[in-house]
Homo-oligomer: A and B are copies of this chain.
Amino acid sequence: TQQLLATPTPRARPYRVSNWDRTVRKGIMADSLEDLLEKVRSALLLVGTISVVIDEDGTSVETEEFFQTLEEGTVLLVLTKGQIWRPAKTAGYQL
């Protein structure tokens, strides 16, 4: 129990993860950013370097610390090399 008090075991929390063009979205449980990246990789069959951003505003999630502050159910977008975040809503651009 001493160890538990010193470093509380992170609890796996739910996230919703889309691919770059938002054609696929999967619910993924993860207890850390590293864990999430690993599970996203296998769930979305991605290879190479991947990164995650917050779907809402494109904020890059690069550190465990910042990742832990995200709310449960946060929608994330996973990007592979060369892919960039674009806003989901295209109101005003209805060509």
Contact = CB atoms under 8 A, between A and B. Distances in A.
Interface in A9-42: 12-14, 16, 24-29
Interface of A: 12-14, 16, 24-29, 43, 53-54, 57-63, 65-67, 69, 72, 75, 91-92, 94
A27 B94 contact: no
Given A69-B72, A94-B92, A63 B25 contact: no
A66 B53 CA distance: 20
A29 B59 contact: no
A14 B62 CA distance: 12
A24 B60 CA distance: 8
Given A16-B57, A24-B60, A29 B94 contact: no
